Structure formats: C-alpha cells, structure tokens
Amino acid sequence: MDATAPCPLLNGRWVAYRWFTYKALERRRYDSLARHVAEEGQSVRAALKMGGLVLIGAGLGLVSALAMLNQGMNIGKETVQGWVGSHVSGDRTADPYTRALVARAGLLALTQAETLYFNRTTNEAGKPLRADCTYQLEGGPQPARWWSVTIYAADNYLPVNGDDAQSADATRMAALTKPQDLGRWKVRVSPQKGDATHWISSKNAGDYALTIRLYNPQDGARNDFRSIALPTIKTVSCPSVPA
C-alpha cells in the first residue's frame, strides 16, 4: 500500500480492521490462558485433595496398627482364670497380628515347649489393676520346673520406683513357705510393703500387668491351659479417691 496515497477512509478502515482483529486475537489468547489457568487450578486442587485423602488414610492406617500393637498381649488369646495366655507366642505359624504383637510385647520370648507366659491386667472382678490398690496374689505349686510372677508397667518394662521388688519366683516362695503350707504362697502387690512377707511394688506402675512365666511346663499344662491352677488375685483395699 502506498502510504502517501490520499485515501484517508480506506486507511481508516484498514486501521479499524487491524484493531478489531488484534482485539479478537487478544481475547482469544486471554480466553485460552484463563482456561488454562482454570484447568491447572483444578488439577492442583485435585492433586491436593488426593494427597490429603491419602494422608488421612495413611494416618488412620498407622494409628490403627500402632493401637493394635500397643494393646499388649491381650488379643486373640485364651483366658484362664483372668490370665491371658497364648498357644502361639514365638510360633512360626502364628498369624501376622499375633506375630506383630509378640514382637512388640514379647520380643525374644520362648516357644511354648520351653515356657508358657500368662498375662493379667485385671483384678478378680475384671476391673483394671490399679497402682494405688493393694492386692493379694495367692497360689500353689505350678506345673513347671520353675515359675515367676513379674510386674510390668504399660511400656512393657519394669516400673521405675527404686523399690527393687518386681517379682516373686518359685525359689523365693519355697524359701518363705513352711512345710504345713503345702506349697501355698502369698504375695502382696501394692505401692507400699507394709507388713507383707513377700511384696511386689506397684508404685509408679501406672496401668500395669502381671506376667507369670512357667519354665519347662508339664505336657498337660501346655496342652490344656485350663488344667493349670494359676495364682488368684484378691483386692484387699483401694483408696476411695484414686491417687
């Protein structure tokens, strides 16, 4: 086009035409950009939502698994006179839950052929054992070569109280009992010793558990937990207001 041609109208039309096409193009560009941004935003939101859901799921999975593991040994087991025993601890054929539980609360435990373990967390009425209460544990000879009763705090370790009174065992009980007792023995489980002959300290023990170990159990005991006369527990006193 000749820029010097005296044709202002045509020139003006051309300018208007260019202006409109430019605007249209710009609008189109803007629209596509906006669409793009919107799509991007949507996918970011979707990804965030997905991540959030996965995170919630992972959290639930983790918390539920840890809750299972921290239940202690009281799951899927046989309860005998308030004591919970397992026929499968340390057994290779145990189900994944039992295996995980044993690993958590009884790692490096022995198999039944060697030792039976029974655990109790409740008193004679099925109420949780309380660290501030006084209980009497009473029993007789156990169908095993050697046995012991030990107190464990909720973290599966011995309670930290400086009392050095965490267990009773066959040898000490034999030394304490007289011939006329016929092997019957008594142990006090309480925060203070008082006048007890033998004492297991529950001071600072929190929600504790008592575990009896029967080393080299007799075949009958191993095959039928119900045949074992496990120690009994009796609540002697409890402070009316829990400490």
Q: Structure tokens of 11?
A: 């020139």
Q: Identify residues 107-126 at the interface with another protein (CB under 8 A).
A: 107-111, 113-114
Half-sphere exposure of 41 (CA within 13 A, CB side): 6
Site for another protein in 170-199 (CB under 8 A): 171-172
- Of 92 and 180, the one with the shorter C-beta distance to another protein is 92
Question: Per-residue string for binding with another protein, 36-75, x by CB under 8 A?
Answer: -------------xx--xx-xxx-xxx-xxx-xx------
CB-based burial label for 95 (10 Å; 0-12, 13-18, 19+): exposed
Per-position b or e across 132-141, b if 16+ CB within 10 A of its CB: bbbbbbebee
Nearest approach, Cβ of residue 117 and another protein (Å): 9
Q: Smaller CB distance to another protein: residue 125 or 175?
A: 175
List binders of another protein among 215-234 (CB under 8 A): 215-216
Q: Give 1 or 92: the residue with its C-beta nearer to another protein.
A: 92
| Cα 154 from Cα 39, distance rounded (Å) | 53
Q: How many residues bind another protein (CB under 8 A)?
A: 56
Sign of torsion over alpha carbons 166, 186, 235, 79: positive
What x-and-dash track marks residues 142-171 binding another protein by CB under 8 A?
Answer: ---xx-x-x-x---xxxxxxx-x-xx-x-x
Residue 9 or 77: the one with the smaller Cβ distance to another protein is 77
Instruction: Look up residue 218 and give its two tokens.
Output: 């007799």
Which residue, 93 or 180, is less far from another protein as judged by CB? 93
Q: Which residues contact 91 (CB under 8 A, 6 or more apart)?
A: 111, 112
Q: Is 85 helix (H, G, I), strand (E, B) or coil?
A: strand
Amino acid at 147: W
Binding mask of the shown chain, residues 7 to 36, with x at each position contacting another protein by CB under 8 A: ------------------------------
Of 234, 199, 214, which Cα lies nearest the Cα of 129?
Answer: 234
Closest alpha carbon to 227 in 116, 131, 129 = 116
**What are the residues binding another protein (CB under 8 A)?**
49-50, 53-54, 56-58, 60-62, 64-66, 68-69, 90-92, 96-97, 99-100, 102-111, 113-114, 145-146, 148, 150, 152, 156-162, 164, 166-167, 169, 171-172, 211, 213, 215-216
